[in-house]
Amino acid sequence: MTDRTAVALPATAGDTLALLDRWVAHGWLRPLDRALAAFLLEQAPDASPLLLLCAALASHQVGRGHVCLDLPALLADPDTTLSLPPEGGEPADTPPPRPSRCLAGVCPRALDAALDAPELVQSGPGNSPLVRRGPRLYLRRYWACEQRIGAVLRARMADAASWQEALDPEEARRWLDTLFAGAAGEGPDWQRLACALAAGRGFSVITGGPGTGKTTTVLRLLVLLQALRESARAGAPLRIRMAAPTGKAAARLNASVAGALDRLPLAGVTGGEALRARIPTEVTTVHRLLGARPGSRHFRHHAGRPLPLDVLVVDEASMIDLELMASLLDALPARARLILLGDKDQLASVEAGAVMGELCHRADGGHYTPETAAWLAGVSGEAIPRHYQDSAGRPLDQHIVMLRYSHRFGAESGIGRLARAVNDGVVRDAEGLFAERGRHPDIARLDLAGPEDARLEALAVSGGGEHFAPSTDGAVPAGQQHYLQVLHQGRPAPDAPRTAWEDWARGVLQAQGAFQLLAAVRRGPWGVETLNQRIAAALRDRGLVRGEGVWYAGRPVIVTRNDYDLGLINGDMGVTLAVPAWLAQGQAGPEPALAAADGARDLLRVAFLANDGSGRIRWVLPSRLEQVETAYALTVHKAQGSEFRHAALVLPDRNSPVLTRELLYTGITRASRWFTLLSSEPRVLARAMGQRTLRSGGLRGALMDGSVSESG
Ligand SMILES: Nc1ncnc2c1ncn2[C@@H]1O[C@H](COP(=O)(O)OP(=O)(O)OP(=O)(O)O)[C@@H](O)[C@H]1O
């Protein structure tokens, strides 16, 4: 609630820091944000209170995913710049004044005057800690990242003609006919258009919801590019690399690439098998590709030592934050082709920046110029419908294609229809899908009586099959007990060879992906912390897990920070297993004489799937895992890039800034077969769908006109 009862801008810098302390104490601001204000005051002892306040708020925006502080928005609605209400509730003592009260009466001119402090705020290159560009106030690091990204992408857009001219349209058309043989459907084939467009661009984005064929399309594109390279006799085959932001996303793409490549209609095509063999199936993480170095934020590859590749495909690009994208583009050779894949409607990265969303904000409408449409028709044989054409289309629009038809979720799929209704913001449709019980056997809604309703645990343990209409194939949704049963029942004998233990661990990890409980928030009764405790207790009560300590057999964990020494990436998931001492200690196999007695010497190790796509199991000593959390429940953010057969989403009964349409959409689309919604608030869908994630940043503006000038 906006508080405009009195003008209360702190009078001195000391008063400002005291106010920031109170905001920190109430969980409205991070200690880091307050520390920045204190640092600036040391640098410039006469800095104005308003400037210090703005600096702390600019820093706070970064923690909330924004790239900068939007100054007009700050004056129009000051309280949206703090974390209000804080997660998990407020402390009991009197709350401090809100920004709306401190800033009441502050006009744009006063703000301009406060920010006119060249030692702290400049408008471009320099060494001030803050940068102001028009309506935006940045921490310099984020302004610089935005500049670097803008410069690389603008240069590629400015050079579009040379990429387009380098493409032989007839040869491309011949290959597209081969690669899309038999693929006729209603309306334009956007996959074919995507291949044609990306083949004629140095930088392109292919966006689409789940199952719209991003992987299938990009593999066809890679074959097309490799084939064109060979027919032009332009030298060695293209060096192609594929990467994804997390180990989990890389492993998922890895698993689908090999199958999708096998399905390409290349059998019987002259040279087809050789081409197929020249498409890599290995997907790495962006960090690994760039050469992350332990304990450093610098990478082995950068502008001075670019990546040795000709084509780079980056999947799940919406999860890439501003800094990582800047590092990636720095390391990209000037003539290397960049193809970004992802779902523009998903939540943006946890860290600052929403690069994919900024690039794709006009993707729904197409906005292809008549020239682009004519060129695409010549290359692909597909006509772009008139309503996707726009004679005023911007250069950026000409680099983006949206795949519009889900091959995974047919027209009748509840998950597919729910995701669409949520995305379109049509509350009545979304609510109605749950009301038509039985019509959609893949979705269910469980209305809880309150935060303590034990039906939540029951569903998480068993999967809650009783809430779904029966499916035609008789399959039922899994819960947590599924992987624990695999864990208990599939355990090899103590003297079984190493391969048997690894197969078992793979089986447990795979079964663990059959169900995931998701939550919107971390703290409070509906947050992952409470849910994890409740599920662990419920599993103990049912005898599915034993042991009271932090580590016990069956504990699932998620890695929360990259650990290059252990080869683990933020988002990797593992399961704790009790294994014989010989295996835990890295010996090749059991010593026969000891094997029989070995069962008594089981040790705990956490099994992770190696994120190099090899399918190997990494056994990690629990005490070496410093940055992990229990993963019976995950936030939707953490689950991004993963997919589960059954995803159950728990939403809070109170409004929260994180409860947005994008969060709901991302949660729903984590489910591949069954989706359950759990909440005690009947209006929760309407609430979440009514809130959009808006992220401040200047990239979109900088790219829209396609000019090479600096963003303003
Ligand atoms: N044009 C098509 N015709 C028929 N089936 C298709 C077509 N394109 C993709 N598919 C099928 O749809 C499924 C999803 O395709 P794909 O994995 O390429 O989609 P995606 O967008 O990458 O999915 P994800 O949501 O996993 O990122 C696959 O089974 C694939 O074989």
The ipTM assigned to this model is 0.98
Tokens of 97: 């004044």
**Among 216, 236, 217, which residue's Cα sits nearest to residue 226?**
236
Reported residue count of the chain is 712
Tokens of 480: 């947590």
Atom of ligand 1 nearest to the CA of 643: 26
Q: Got the DSSP string for 570-598?
A: TT-EEEEEEE-HHHHTT-SS--HHHHHHH
pLDDT of 400? 96
Shortest-distance Cα residue to atom 15 of ligand 1: 213
Ligand 1 pocket, residue 48 CB under 6 Å: no
209 among the known binding-site residues? yes
Atom of ligand 1 nearest to the CA of 191: 1
Query: Could you tell me if 399 and 204 are in contact, meaning their C-beta atoms sit under 8 angstroms apart?
Result: yes
Angle between helices 169-179 and 190-199 (to 10 degrees): 140
* C-alpha–C-alpha distance, residues 692 and 658, integer Å: 9
Ligand 1 centre from 673 Cα, in Å? Answer: 15
- What is the distance of C-alpha 270 from the center of its chain? 40
**Half-sphere exposure of 271 toward its Cβ, with a 13 Å CA cutoff?**
12
Query: Could you tell me if 617 and 610 are in contact, meaning their C-beta atoms sit under 8 angstroms apart?
Result: yes
**167-407 matches 414-546+626-690 in fold:** yes
245 among the known binding-site residues? no
* C-alpha–C-alpha distance, residues 172 and 178, integer Å: 10
- pLDDT tens readout for residues 612-633: 656 789 999 999 998 999 999 9
**Cβ-based neighbour number of residue 8 at 10 Å:** 17
Mean pLDDT for back-to-back runs of 10 residues, the chain (712 residues): 58 89 88 94 91 93 86 84 64 75 84 91 92 92 92 90 90 90 75 95 94 91 91 81 86 82 81 86 89 80 95 93 92 94 84 82 92 94 93 94 86 88 91 82 93 94 91 89 96 90 96 96 92 96 90 95 80 92 81 55 90 79 94 93 92 86 94 94 89 75 56 37
Ligand 1 centre from 216 Cα, in Å? Answer: 6
Tokens of 176: 């597209």
Shortest-distance Cα residue to atom 4 of ligand 1: 407
**Among 285, 222, 282, which residue's Cα sits nearest to residue 249?**
285
Ligand 1 pocket, residue 672 CB under 6 Å: no
- pLDDT tens readout for residues 363-382: 989 999 999 999 999 999 99
Residue type, 397: D
User: Where does 167-407 sit in CATH, by number?
Assistant: 3.40.50.300
215 among the known binding-site residues? yes
User: Where does 13-144 sit in CATH, by number?
Assistant: 1.10.10.1020
Q: Model's pTM, two decimal places?
A: 0.85
H-only helix segments in 10-123 = 13-25, 31-43, 49-63, 71-76, 99-102, 108-115
pLDDT of 90? 57
DSSP strand pairing (573-579 vs 603-609):
antiparallel
Helix (H, G, I), strand (E, B) or coil at 278: coil
Q: Would you state the torsion angle of the CA atoms of residues 192, 416, 208, 557, taken in this order, to the nearest 10 degrees? A: -130
- Alpha-carbon torsion (540, 541, 544, 547), positive or negative: positive
* C-alpha–C-alpha distance, residues 169 and 175, integer Å: 10
CATH class of 414-546+626-690: alpha beta
pLDDT of 234? 67
H or E element at residue 676: strand 671-679
* C-alpha–C-alpha distance, residues 327 and 355, integer Å: 13
Ligand 1 pocket, residue 212 CB under 6 Å: yes
**Cβ-based neighbour number of residue 298 at 10 Å:** 10
For the chain, domain boundaries: 13-144, 167-407, 414-546+626-690
In our burial notation (b when 16+ CB lie closer than 10 A, e otherwise), range 69-104 reads bbbebbeeebbbbbbbbbbeeeeeeeebbbbbbbbb
Query: Could you tell me if 658 and 521 are in contact, meaning their C-beta atoms sit under 8 angstroms apart?
Result: yes
Atom of ligand 1 nearest to the CA of 256: 17
pLDDT of 104? 80
H or E element at residue 262: helix 247-263
Ligand 1 centre from 357 Cα, in Å? Answer: 22
**Among 112, 136, 123, which residue's Cα sits nearest to residue 50?**
112
